[in-house]
Amino acid sequence: MATDSEMEILAAQNDLTLMKSRRAFPVSQAAWDKAAIAQVSPGLQVGWHDGGLHPETGAIALVNQAGPHTDLIGELIRVTRTALDGSERSVVVYVYDSAAGDVDVSLTRRAFLAIGLLANEYVVGRVEIVA
């Protein structure tokens, strides 16, 4: 079990990460372009949401509150989509919270645009935890 001082440090780190997620999108992506430390899943359903579901608009993700990935809250994750031609597009986001939904991971519109078109309700993506 974590001590009070360890919990305070963790809370401060999460606050700093949330602040970074609110920066201009290219700035947050450049800051978080690091190697993955763990693979979560090679094929999760990744969708997008707007301010009606959650007010945060930066490099933010929500996980399905009824799904098995609520342990990702507070983590930086990389979502990578592989196109039919084999090319890959990735985005790094901060998992801020959970919400009800039909997908495993829901990205803000801006984050989803980095890997797919908004005309898609969801894409299948590889999810990894980033340092």
Q: What is the pLDDT of residues 49-99, one digit of tens each?
A: 876 666 666 889 999 999 999 999 999 999 999 988 999 999 999 999 999
Can you tell me whether residue 10 is helix, strand or coil?
Answer: helix
Higher pLDDT, 87 or 28: 87
Give the chain's domain count: 1
At 95, which CATH number?
2.40.40.10
- Which position has the token pair 């609110």? 22
Confidence (pLDDT) at 50: 75
Q: For residue 91, what are the domain limits?
A: 4-130
Higher pLDDT, 3 or 8: 3
Contact 97, 16 (CB under 8 A): no
Confidence (pLDDT) at 87: 94
Q: Is the confidence at residue 22, as pLDDT, over 70?
A: no
Mean of pLDDT values over 5-26: 61
Distance CA(115)–CA(91), nearest Å, equals 7
Q: Is the confidence at residue 10, as pLDDT, over 50?
A: no
Distance CA(118)–CA(23), nearest Å, equals 22
Kindly tell me the sign of the dihedral angle through the C-alpha atoms of 126, 127, 128, 131: positive
Q: For strands 60-64 and 88-99, give the pairing.
A: parallel
Confidence (pLDDT) at 93: 94
Element (DSSP H or E) covering residue 99: strand 88-99
Distance CA(49)–CA(58), nearest Å, equals 12
Query: Is the pTM of the predicted complex or chain greater than 0.85?
Result: no
